[in-house]
């Protein structure tokens, strides 16, 4: 148990009063305005409501340098994460230092104004090295820094006009002062915060409850719903899961509140940042996980941070943060005693059966619709996860044929469509080259730009079909590797993507010349003809390559069916 108790007095916010806000909003409409990105909106919300206290705005150049190099603002205050307003060079050129700008959300609502005191071009490679540990694009925040963030940073104090609007789970969102008031009202003087971006299972429920009991404190489940690691379970599903788990704690011991934080996955620095944020929200303790806020593997396949780096850095600074670290206890299920126990406290390890299901194994079982035992998770949580992620044989997917004109793409695609319709269960849409060029891309020609646009449109439609649980079969030429990869990325967020190279040789396509186009192309009557006067980049690692010479169409389509079965996409 610890003596740390929270001072639940309100903390400073950056909002002006309601009346001033109405006036400021009208004035701000005249200012040069910046449409914020989703990540900037998350940062702004926590700046304005005091979640990032003591920051008063986006970092100045001097504060930024201090934060990057020593985790400290220029006045010496501990602050581990650069909270910067990145903009394009073009926007930066239109702004003079000293000017006020309006900060808008993505619908154009003015949320705040900012007085620009600083404008500079950061050394991003240096920021990546210092803050994230390596200038390696495998780190999601480093990738964001180089490939999404603008080149120039603006700094300056923010004047808050209104909170960003949320339409989801409104009753579950609290500002730091709302949480402080809540704790005051309940008489909670010690609160353990549990930061999470994952669904909670029984082990989490056990370890969080135990952590609170040991600290003689109450518990706050404080999940991040802003931006988490790409590929995470979406926050809508997670919140429904958290609500189910909340019922499992003894009543009046535990609260839950959603935090609109944009995580950076910065491991040790992120843990310290999370601590400061929880302190601002009125908590006295925080559970720090092994590999807390870890970003996964670097481009050499190794971990970015050591498993205990986050706990070590947190412990070093906890007095200054004003929040006490609670170790994350690894809980495992002991079958003979039908209960969870901390792994390092089991004396009779060799005489009992210890059960555990890893994250990877859980994902496999969900994907294949296999059993998830009750000792592992709560039935309500499993049901939510299954609803969101049905087994692969019930999910949507995209089959993307690519190959030269006349290679047989459309014929095989048609045969495949009919076979899938015979099986039933999911709607099938064929996006054949010719159909698309008639209905979606009728104004386009065959320049590289137009072909890319055509393929991206096909990818967009296929991704929507995949998201909605259907099967999209695409059959364009799609001659460029990079464009095909972009389509793959669009679709893989929602379901499987199978690239199938219809590998009929140019000689054979030209010999068949089913539409008479090759002849015209040779005569120069059709320009930019793929294979003749325009490039075709062969796929290097397609999911499947089909040869059509001496193989009939039915067999080619059957090969695709076998591939789909082997990937679990259709029941065997």
Nearer to ligand PPS, 132 or 446 (CB): 446
Token couple for 353: 């059966």
Q: What are phi and psi of 192, to 5 degrees?
A: -90, 125
Token couple for 305: 């941070």
Is 197 annotated as catalytic? yes
Nearer to ligand PPS, 312 or 534 (CB): 534
Interface residues with ligand PPS (CB under 6 A) are: 405-406, 410, 433-434, 437, 446, 451, 454-455, 476-479, 515, 517, 526, 528-530, 534
How far from 556 is each of 486, 542, 553, 571, CA to CA, in Å?
26, 15, 5, 19
Is 198 annotated as catalytic? yes
| Rounded least distance, CB 531 to ligand PPS, Å | 8
CA distance 52 to 12: 10
Token couple for 74: 């220029």
| Rounded least distance, CB 509 to ligand PPS, Å | 8
Is 49 annotated as catalytic? no
Contacts of 365 (CB under 8 A, 6+ apart): 357, 371, 372
How far from 432 is each of 190, 191, 536, CA to CA, in Å?
62, 59, 18
CA distance 290 to 308: 6
| Rounded least distance, CB 518 to ligand PPS, Å | 10
CA distance 336 to 451: 63
Nearer to ligand PPS, 257 or 530 (CB): 530
Sheet with 428-432, edge to edge strand ranges: 428-432, 471-475, 397-402, 496-502, 544-546
Nearer to ligand PPS, 73 or 560 (CB): 560
Task: Give one word for 478, left, alpha or beta, with left for phi > 0 and alpha for psi -120 to 50.
Answer: left
Residue in the structure block whose two tokens are 């079969």: 473
CA distance 43 to 111: 12
CA distance 491 to 79: 38
Check 198, 298, 414, 429 and give the catalytic one.
198
Strand-strand pairing, 85-87 and 152-160: antiparallel
Nearer to ligand PPS, 65 or 530 (CB): 530
Side-chain-side CA neighbours of residue 360 (13 Å): 0
| Rounded least distance, CB 542 to ligand PPS, Å | 15
How far from 359 is each of 45, 199, 305, CA to CA, in Å?
32, 11, 19
Residue in the structure block whose two tokens are 């000293």: 98
| Rounded least distance, CB 526 to ligand PPS, Å | 5
Nearer to ligand PPS, 152 or 478 (CB): 478
Nearer to ligand PPS, 346 or 453 (CB): 453
Is residue 548 helix, strand or coil?
A: coil
How far from 75 is each of 63, 64, 123, 255, 557, CA to CA, in Å?
8, 12, 22, 35, 68
Of 216, 86, 203, the closest CA to residue 150 belongs to: 86
| Rounded least distance, CB 232 to ligand PPS, Å | 34
| Rounded least distance, CB 194 to ligand PPS, Å | 50
| Rounded least distance, CB 481 to ligand PPS, Å | 13
User: How many C-beta atoms lie closer than 10 Å to residue 300's C-beta?
Assistant: 8
Residue in the structure block whose two tokens are 């730009």: 449
CA distance 53 to 176: 10
Sheet with 354-355, edge to edge strand ranges: 339-342, 331-334, 354-355
| Rounded least distance, CB 477 to ligand PPS, Å | 4
Check 39, 104, 180, 197 and give the catalytic one.
197
| Rounded least distance, CB 436 to ligand PPS, Å | 6
CA distance 213 to 1: 9
Strand-strand pairing, 110-115 and 100-104: antiparallel
Check 37, 65, 175, 196 and give the catalytic one.
196
Nearer to ligand PPS, 277 or 399 (CB): 399
| Rounded least distance, CB 446 to ligand PPS, Å | 4
Contact status, residue 314 vs residue 325, Cβ threshold 8 Å: yes
Nearer to ligand PPS, 93 or 434 (CB): 434
CA distance 472 to 417: 9
Active-site residue set = 196-198
């Amino acid at each position: 148990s610890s003596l740390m108790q929270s001072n639940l007095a309100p903390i400073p916010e950056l909002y002006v009063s309601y009346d001033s806000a109405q006036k400021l909003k009208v004035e701000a409409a005249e200012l040069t305005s910046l449409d914020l990105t989703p990540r900037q909106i998350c940062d702004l919300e926590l700046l304005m409501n005091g979640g990032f206290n003591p920051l008063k705005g986006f970092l100045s150049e001097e504060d930024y340098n201090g934060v990057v190099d020593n985790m400290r603002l220029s006045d010496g205050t501990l602050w581990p994460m650069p909270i910067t307003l990145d903009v394009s060079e073009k926007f930066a050129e239109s702004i003079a230092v000293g000017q006020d700008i309006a900060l808008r959300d993505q619908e154009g609502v003015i949320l705040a104004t900012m007085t620009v005191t600083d404008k500079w071009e950061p050394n991003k490679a240096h920021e990546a090295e210092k803050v994230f540990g390596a200038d390696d694009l495998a780190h999601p925040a480093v990738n964001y820094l180089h490939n999404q963030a603008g080149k120039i940073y603006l700094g300056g104090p923010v004047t808050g006009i209104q909170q960003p609007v949320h339409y989801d789970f409104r009753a579950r969102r609290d500002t730091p002062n709302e949480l402080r008031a809540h704790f005051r009202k309940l008489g909670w003087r010690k609160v353990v915060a549990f930061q999470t971006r994952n669904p909670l299972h029984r082990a989490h429920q056990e370890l969080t409850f135990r952590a609170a009991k040991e600290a003689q404190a109450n518990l706050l489940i404080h999940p991040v719903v802003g931006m988490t690691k790409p590929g995470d379970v979406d926050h809508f599903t997670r919140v429904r899961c958290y609500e189910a788990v909340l019922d499992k704690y003894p009543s009046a011991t535990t609260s839950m509140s959603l935090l609109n934080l944009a995580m950076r996955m910065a491991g040790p620095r992120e843990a310290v940042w999370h601590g400061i944020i929880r302190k601002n929200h009125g908590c006295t303790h925080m559970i720090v996980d092994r590999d807390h806020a870890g970003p996964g593997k670097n481009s050499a396949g190794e971990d970015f941070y050591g498993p205990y780096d986050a706990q070590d850095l947190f412990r070093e600074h906890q007095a200054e943060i004003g929040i006490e670290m609670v170790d994350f206890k690894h809980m495992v299920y002991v079958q003979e005693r039908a209960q969870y126990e901390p792994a390092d406290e089991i004396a009779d390890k060799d005489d009992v059966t210890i059960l555990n299901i890893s994250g990877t194994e859980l994902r496999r079982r969900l994907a294949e619709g296999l059993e998830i035992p009750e000792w592992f998770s709560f039935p309500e949580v499993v049901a939510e996860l299954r609803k969101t992620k049905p087994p692969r044989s019930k999910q949507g997917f995209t089959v993307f044929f690519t190959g030269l004109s006349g290679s047989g793409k459309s014929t095989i695609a048609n045969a495949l469509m009919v076979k899938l319709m015979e099986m039933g269960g999911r709607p099938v849409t064929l996006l054949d080259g010719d159909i698309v060029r008639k209905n979606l891309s009728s104004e386009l020609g065959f320049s590289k730009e137009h072909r890319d646009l055509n393929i991206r449109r096909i990818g967009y439609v296929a991704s929507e079909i995949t998201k909605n649980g259907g099967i999209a079969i695409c059959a364009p030429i799609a001659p460029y590797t990079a464009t095909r990869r972009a389509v793959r990325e669009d679709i893989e967020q929602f379901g499987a993507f199978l690239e199938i190279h219809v590998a009929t040789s140019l000689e054979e396509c030209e010999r068949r010349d089913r539409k008479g186009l090759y002849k015209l192309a040779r005569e120069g009557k059709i320009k930019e003809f793929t294979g003749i006067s325009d490039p075709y980049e062969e796929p290097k690692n397609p999911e499947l390559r089909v040869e059509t010479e001496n193989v009939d169409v039915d067999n080619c389509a059957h090969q695709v069916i076998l591939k789909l079965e082997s990937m679990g996409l259709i029941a065997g």
